[in-house]
Amino acid sequence: MKSGSFLYVLKWVGRYLKQLRFHFLLLLLLSPVSVALSLLQVNAVQQLIDAVLSDNRSRSGMAFLLFASTSLATLLRSGLSATVSGRLETKAGCILRDHLLRHILQAWPDRLEKLSGGELLSRYDGDIDKISGFFRSGTLTLLLNPLLSVCGFLYLFHYSPLLSLGVFFPVPFFALILNGFSKRAGRIYEKRREIQTGYTDVSCDIVNGAETIFSDQMTEVMLQKLERLLRSLLFNQKSYFRNSCLSLSLIMSVTYVPGILAFLLGGVLALHGQISVSLLFAYTQLIGQINAPVVDLFSSLNELRETEKSMRRLDELFLLPEERTDGACGLLDASLPIVCRNLPLPGIPEGLSLQVSSGECIGIAGESGVGKTTLLRLLCGFCEPPSGSLLLFGRSVSQWNLSELRKQISCVFQENQIFPGTVRENISFSRPGATLSEIEAAARLSGLDGFIRQLPKQYDTMLQANGAEWSGGQYQRLNLARAFLQDALLYLFDEPSASLDEEMERLLIESIHTLRQAGKTVLIISHRPALLRACDRVLQLSR
């Protein structure tokens, strides 16, 4: 593994070492204990052989007790090590997922929207599983096994310098060849993760767009996409297993060649009287224990490469720029919620100029793609205006603390966002501390209270994220209720009556009048004539 990759993985592990230090320390303590027990066990075998050959019963009994004690201690250490390793893997996975979710929630929304859902799921699930599994075993392999390998070789060298040099002479050559195979394994793994991401993307598209797929006869097209991805995945897996088989054959050579050489060379040395038979037996037993860190290190090269690729994929998400957390709070001029000058929109490159006074209701209409929704996103602080000026409540949007700004703004976009939980929870997300009476008042304002009262559990009725239980209009009213509950100063609506019938649209207009009577400012994107007539003025956007 090249030094750059080694240092990258080591640095990545160091980020979380403090949070996982207890489990790491336990495993670090257990590792030398394992080596010490192995050495004691082999030493006990050597003493037992010498005692039997010399017909010394007392020494035989002591050697047998030592061997039995070390064997029992080895079993206990193995059980404890497995328990600690499992907890380390679980905790590492939880920490990584928590860190990633927190970062995503703090990233600029316009940057997140460039990532597909399948890409996020693939990294959140598969890549974190790979990294947390590496924390369980690969980290100690990376940190300890090189040291243990050197110490083990020096210990064997102490037994017989000539035999040790002859036994371990081929190992460096195996290392060079295995390093080449591990590089190829990393490239194959990276390609596999890309294919799996594409497969997840298509699967999400099938689930989310099932109605469109069936109605437009797109089933065969989607199946062909999946089939192409599966064929690519199958080809990738063949390459991976072919590479793994070649690597495994070399690893098996590293496992058995030193032992075979020890028997051959050691037998020659024993025949010439340079070493005793008991020392040869102890050496051949010991070489398996000492060689284990070398074998583990070589076996983990592929895992190290794959883990590095997963770490880099996660870092692409961690490097997404976060929203500003600093900035000013409080209103400078509540009488002018919105003032924009030469604000560029997709369909209006020369820029939009607009001034909205407190309590006004402004309708916005225009052809598709002119920038109506972009305007709402700019007002919410989801993205920075590239040029021009945008003042909200008397302060430039670039100077606002975005979290504080959004407390003054309530926005309902075209997509009805429903979260798993009760009706009460879904409405109260905009104000977690709201009382039931306040939630009911918001539901009445959106025209949803009567429908909720008819449900068996009323406001405690459970909802699913896919929104299969209610109609589109009912879910739209739930989103409106969530917005009304926030009690903001500025309300932004993007096609709020798109899924509403005429009666519900009339009720929505009455609710907007109620907001205006309370001194709220309202911006409405709509093509519905009745809704636009209820506005003080209508801004017609055109290219």
Is residue 86 included in any domain, yes or no? yes
Query: What CATH number does residue 70 fall under?
Result: 1.20.1560.10
Residue 142: half-sphere exposure toward Cβ, Cα within 13 Å: 27
Answer yes or no: do 119 and 172 share one domain.
yes
Is residue 333 included in any domain, yes or no? no
Answer yes or no: do 287 and 399 share one domain.
no
Answer yes or no: do 10 and 155 share one domain.
yes
How does DSSP classify residue 322? Answer: B
Measured at the CA of 386, the angle between CA 381 and CA 388, to 5 degrees, comes to 95
Answer yes or no: do 257 and 365 share one domain.
no
Enclosing H/E stretch for 223: helix 219-271
Is residue 332 included in any domain, yes or no? no
Which residues, including other chains, have CB under 8 Å from residue 382's CB and lie 6 or more apart?
A: 108, 109, 110
Tell me the CA end-to-end span of the chain in Å, nearest whole number.
56
**Which phi and psi angles does 272 have, rounded to 5°?**
-90, 5
Is residue 507 included in any domain, yes or no? yes
What CA–CA distance (Å, rounded) separates 166 from 275?
A: 15
Is residue 412 included in any domain, yes or no? yes
Domain boundary residue, one of 318, 347, 372 = 318
Question: Tens digits of per-residue pLDDT, 322-368?
Answer: 777 777 777 777 788 888 888 887 777 777 888 888 888 888 888 88
Enclosing H/E stretch for 231: helix 219-271
Q: List b or e across 523-543, with b for residues whose CB sees 16 or more CB atoms inside 10 angstroms.
A: bbbbebeebbebbeeebebee
Question: Tens digits of per-residue pLDDT, 392-437?
Answer: 888 888 888 888 888 888 888 877 677 778 888 888 888 888 888 8
For tokens 């064929």, the residue is 231
* Per-residue pLDDT at 278: 67
* Per-residue pLDDT at 1: 47
What CA–CA distance (Å, rounded) separates 152 from 156?
A: 6
* Per-residue pLDDT at 467: 53
Q: Record the pTM.
A: 0.70
Residue of 290, 264, 282 lying closest to 49 (CA atoms) = 282
The overall longest dimension of the chain from CA atoms, in Å, is 111
What is the DSSP pairing of strand 338-345 with strand 389-392? antiparallel
CA distances from 343 to 124, 267, 276, 489 (A): 37, 87, 90, 22
For tokens 């996982």, the residue is 20
User: What is the extent of the structural domain holding 464?
Assistant: 338-541
For tokens 């080895």, the residue is 74
Percentage helix, strand, coil for the chain under 3-state DSSP, each rounded to 5? 65, 10, 25
Which residues, including other chains, have CB under 8 Å from residue 196's CB and lie 6 or more apart?
A: 122, 126, 233
Is residue 328 included in any domain, yes or no? no
Answer yes or no: do 408 and 452 share one domain.
yes
Answer yes or no: do 311 and 169 share one domain.
yes
Answer yes or no: do 351 and 305 share one domain.
no
- Kindly state the tokens that stand for 353: 């100029």
Is residue 327 included in any domain, yes or no? no
Domain boundary residue, one of 290, 318, 346 = 318
Is residue 326 included in any domain, yes or no? no
Answer yes or no: do 303 and 343 share one domain.
no
What CA–CA distance (Å, rounded) separates 51 from 179?
A: 45
Measured at the CA of 32, the angle between CA 19 and CA 14, to 5 degrees, comes to 25
Residue of 313, 316, 297, 12 lying closest to 192 (CA atoms) = 313
Answer yes or no: do 103 and 216 share one domain.
yes
Which residues, including other chains, have CB under 8 Å from residue 37's CB and lie 6 or more apart?
A: 70, 73, 74, 77
Domain boundary residue, one of 318, 346, 366 = 318
Answer yes or no: do 147 and 189 share one domain.
yes
What CA–CA distance (Å, rounded) separates 421 from 465?
A: 8
Answer yes or no: do 262 and 359 share one domain.
no
Query: What CATH number does residue 470 fall under?
Result: 3.40.50.300
In which residue ranges of the chain is pLDDT below 70? 1-4, 35, 38-39, 42-43, 45-46, 52-53, 55-56, 138-149, 152, 159, 208-211, 215-216, 277-278, 282, 285-286, 288-293, 416, 465-469, 498-500
| Alpha helix segments (H runs only) across 461-501 | 472-486
Q: List b or e across 502-521, with b for residues whose CB sees 16 or more CB atoms inside 10 angstroms.
A: eebbbbbbebbeebbeeebb
Q: Is 527 helix (H, G, I), strand (E, B) or coil?
A: coil
How many structural domains compose the chain?
2
Q: List b or e across 279-314, with b for residues whose CB sees 16 or more CB atoms inside 10 angstroms.
A: bbbbbbbbbbbbbbbbbbbbbbbbbbbbbbbbbebb
**Which phi and psi angles does 366 have, rounded to 5°?**
155, 165
CA dihedral 244, 245, 250, 252 (to 10 degrees): 110
Answer yes or no: do 267 and 383 share one domain.
no
